[in-house]
Structure 1
Amino acid sequence: MIVPETQIRTAVQDDDAALAELDRTTWSTLHAVLPAPTPGEPFFDERHGPGDYLVAVRGGAVVGYVRVVPPAPIASMAHVRQIQGLAVAESARGKGVARALLRAAMDRAREQGAVRITLRVLAHNAPARALYASEGFVVEGVLPGEMFLDGKYVDDVLMGRSLLG
């Protein structure tokens, strides 16, 4: 359940430092496939700007984000959006922030004309998989041993759902 003081909004350039810090403090091989972000590294880059992110704000502080973008820049996939990252600060976990971000991402995708939304999640990330399943995402494929993290091969799970109805 979302706490009333949590607001979801589109990120702005001024969120860069807060999002970079959130990304560093929440980094874990439970969900991350890239190396840990380095201190001082900007969050936004030439491929993903503030408009690609929704942020959760509580008490004036950014406590979470979700990136929702087209999966590829081709016309035949214009009807699809993909979640490519979701993080919530430890202090805000268990308060419905991740669910609110996920629902806002689906709303944003619908507003952009998408009829389908997808994501990829590591198989060992049971809490995220449970959240996605509870919001109607289903497993549409598994790439066995696709990632090598912490000395182990980890399956990459593809999930998706319709945004119609």
Structure 2
Amino acid sequence: MPETHTHPVLVRPAALPDEAALGELDRATWSTLHEVVPRPQPPYEPFFDERHRPEDFLVAEAADADGERRTAGYLRLVLPTPLACNSHVRQIQGLAVADWARGRGVARTLLRAAFAAARREGANRMTLRVLGHNTPARALYESEGFVVEGVLPGEFFLDGRYVDDVLMGRPLAP
């Protein structure tokens, strides 16, 4: 359930000073429920690099249990390819929410902010990939209008079992 008006979830574009908090959040939320890459190990790579630029991320902030506003989550929104014929599409390539902020509407708020940002950039379609066994994420995406558009069966071998790669998409009506 989204937070009340007294402690809203605020979404803003990421900036270079967010790197440490986003890297920490990324490592804290790592799980084979949604990751196909190995768990990050020290020394940690920078969160931002040539392929993961601050301008590709939206950051959610919310008040923690002590009322302090903190980084609660992030969403990475990019062009799926560099091709002009694909420039009407935006793709979500990462979404994370801090454990302390779960159940407060952070992911939904980030998704809706991504829809608005994509529309402002002229996009009319949004896509993403989600692991087949990530039932909570799939339910969230479906509740926000995404539909399954394809499945790559057994695409990944995680924790001793084969996991589907599910392709989802939705239109971005004005």
Q: Per the shorter chain, which TM-score range?
A: over 0.9
- Provide the rounded CA distance (Å) in 2 between the counterparts of 1:2 and 1:110: 23
- Provide the rounded CA distance (Å) in 1 between the counterparts of 2:2 and 2:110: 10
How far is the alpha carbon of 1:164 from its aligned partner? 1.5
The one of 132, 135, 138 equivalent to 2:147 is 138
Opposite residue 49 of structure 1, the aligned amino acid is: R
How far is the alpha carbon of 1:35 from its aligned partner? 1.4
- Work out whether 1:68 is the aligned partner of 2:81: no
**Over alpha carbons, which structure has the higher Rg?**
2
- Work out whether 1:150 is the aligned partner of 2:156: no
Q: For residues 20-39 of structure 1, what are the structure 2 equivalents within 5 Å?
A: 20-39=23-42
Gaps in structure 2 of 5+ consecutive residues: 63-67
- Provide the rounded CA distance (Å) in 1 between the counterparts of 2:106 and 2:129: 19
Aligned to 1:2: 2
- Show CA shifts across 1:48-94 (max 9, x none): 11100001012331110000100011111000000001000000000
**What's the TM-score once normalised by structure 1's chain length?**
0.96
Task: Check conservation: 1:23, 1:37, Cα contact below 8 A.
Answer: no
Opposite residue 42 of structure 1, the aligned amino acid is: P
Q: Aligned-pair RMSD on alpha carbons?
A: 1.0
Q: For residues 8-87 of structure 1, what are the structure 2 equivalents within 5 Å?
A: 8-39=11-42, 40-58=44-62, 59-87=68-96
Give the total of aligned pairs. Answer: 165
- Work out whether 1:88 is the aligned partner of 2:97: yes
- Provide the rounded CA distance (Å) in 1 between the counterparts of 2:41 and 2:109: 28
- Show CA shifts across 1:123-153 (max 9, x none): 0000000000000000000000111111111
- Provide the rounded CA distance (Å) in 2 between the counterparts of 1:109 and 1:126: 25
Opposite residue 148 of structure 2, the aligned amino acid is: V
- Provide the rounded CA distance (Å) in 2 between the counterparts of 1:114 and 1:79: 4
Task: Check conservation: 2:149, 2:169, Cα contact below 8 A.
Answer: yes
**What's the TM-score once normalised by structure 2's chain length?**
0.92
